[in-house]
Amino acid sequence: MGVRVLVGTAKGGFWVTSGNRRDWEVAGPFLKGWKVTAGLRLPDGRFLAAVASDVYGPAIHMYRNYVHNSTWEQLPGGPEYPEGGPSRFRQIWTLAENRGTLYAGVQDAGLFRSTDGGNSWDPLTGLNEHATREAWMPGAGGLCCHAMLFSPDNPERMWCGISAVGVFRTDDGGASWVPKNRGVYWAHEDEEFKEIGYCVHGLAQDPDDPEVIYRQDHSGMYRSRDGAERWERNESGLDSAFGFPIVLDRATRFLFAVPQESDQYRVPVGGALKVMRSTDGGDSWHSASAGLPAAHAFGTVLRGAMSVDDLEPGGVYMGTTSGTLHVSTDLGESWTNLPVVLPRILHVSAWVD
């Protein structure tokens, strides 16, 4: 089985592909000059890529992989905040699909969804105009909604993560949203709205029990066993609990995270690019970093720049802010550093091809 990896960088997208996960081909850049901030493969085989430019703003492009000489094509519509309103649509941080509906988590923080394949998008105003909205404060990366989770058991239940605001859950299909951050240490305390001010960085979910959610937060590593009602710290073995991505291999439920040296420095601890793996649902963490640069490595892995491919054994992929790209095809036992130096890597998604 082959693998296709979409690598989104600050200056365009790249395809990294392999038929055997040993020999890799790199193609690109496509959408040259644009930040490629999120990627998604749709059930019909099309790919979506979110782009953004500091000058020209954001958009979503579509690629038909199955069409010879296909090119990226900007979708006719996209998320849009009301003209004259307080929110600006600056960037898409995550694209997701659930039960035929597309979702986009955006900056300024909000959610939009499309039921026509991405041609038109509707705001989820229950979140975008939440009662606490006036107190939402941007984190260092901006005020962004960057994570979405779904319940395979309950179509009405979804979660989203907003940096420096927190995790929200809906139990009515997105009409209303409730902050769910009990047990998490706050990042900044609002005078009036005590239920927000929690800085979620990344979320991962157990595929068999969607109520089990793992959370890489600004304030540490957490786990919830009850759909985000309560969170508990699970940091045993981590030499730093600060980081951004957290991903899960579906077959083994192994977790992968990339610690950084505190929010003040945001670099690999001691200059060693290290992946931490948990094989016991977050109870303990151990280094799974053989082959990664062990010294003089100060590029970090951003929240969207790590992915798993769902093959067996699972492949893990990550890109750094220094443009280096790293692949493990044995669940982190060993790593290969691909011979590329790309622009700052913002996004990595891997799919079986």
Partner 1 sequence: MPSVTVTLPSLLEPATGGVREFSASGETLRGVFADLVEQEPRLKPHLFDESGDLRRHVLCFHNGTNTRWMDGWDGPVSDGDVVLFMQAVSGG
Q: Using the rule CB under 8 A, is 81 a contact of partner 1?
A: yes
Omega within 30 of 0 (cis) for the link into 108: yes
Position 100 contacts partner 1 (CB under 8 A): no
Which residue among 27, 73, 194, 229 contacts partner 1 (CB under 8 A)?
Answer: 73
Out of 20, 53, 65, 236, the residue judged to bind partner 1 by CB under 8 A = 53
| Residue 23 is a binding residue for partner 1 (CB under 8 A) | no
Both ends of the chain: CA-CA distance in Å? 7
Q: Which is nearer to partner 1, 76 or 100 (CB)?
A: 76
Integer Cα distance of 126 and 124 in angstroms:
5
Peptide linkage before 43 cis (omega within 30 of 0): no
* Binding of partner 1 by 58 (CB under 8 A): yes
Residue of 19, 67, 70, 88 interacting with partner 1 (CB under 8 A) = 88
Q: At its nearest, how many Å lie between partner 1 and the CB of residue 103?
A: 19
Burial of residue 304 (CB within 10 Å: 0-12, 13-18, 19+) is buried
Does 83 help bind partner 1 (rule: CB under 8 A)? Answer: yes
78 binds partner 1 (CB under 8 A): yes
Half-sphere exposure for 307 (CA within 13 Å, toward CB):
25
Interface with partner 1, residue 51, by CB under 8 A: yes
Q: For the purposes of burial, counting CB atoms within 10 Å of the CB of 82, is it exposed (0-12), middle (13-18) or buried (19 or more)?
A: exposed
* Nearest one of 255, 239, 257, 333 to 301, comparing CA atoms: 257
Q: Which of 2, 19, 45, 57 binds partner 1 (CB under 8 A)?
A: 57
| Contact call for residue 120 and partner 1 (CB under 8 A) | no
Examine residue 54 and tell whether it contacts partner 1 (CB under 8 A): yes
Among the listed ranges 30-38, 117-125, 208-216, 266-274, the one in contact with partner 1 (CB under 8 A) is 30-38
Does residue 139 bind partner 1 (CB under 8 A)? no
Q: Is 185 in the site for partner 1 (CB under 8 A)?
A: no
User: How far is Cα of residue 332 from the mean position of the Cα atoms in its chain?
Assistant: 19
Q: How far apart are CA 340 and CA 46, in angstroms?
A: 26
56 contacts: CB under 8 Å, gap ≥ 6: none
Report in angstroms how near the CB of residue 221 gets to partner 1 at its nearest: 37
Binding site for partner 1 (CB under 8 A): 31, 33-34, 51, 53-59, 61, 72-78, 80-85, 87-89
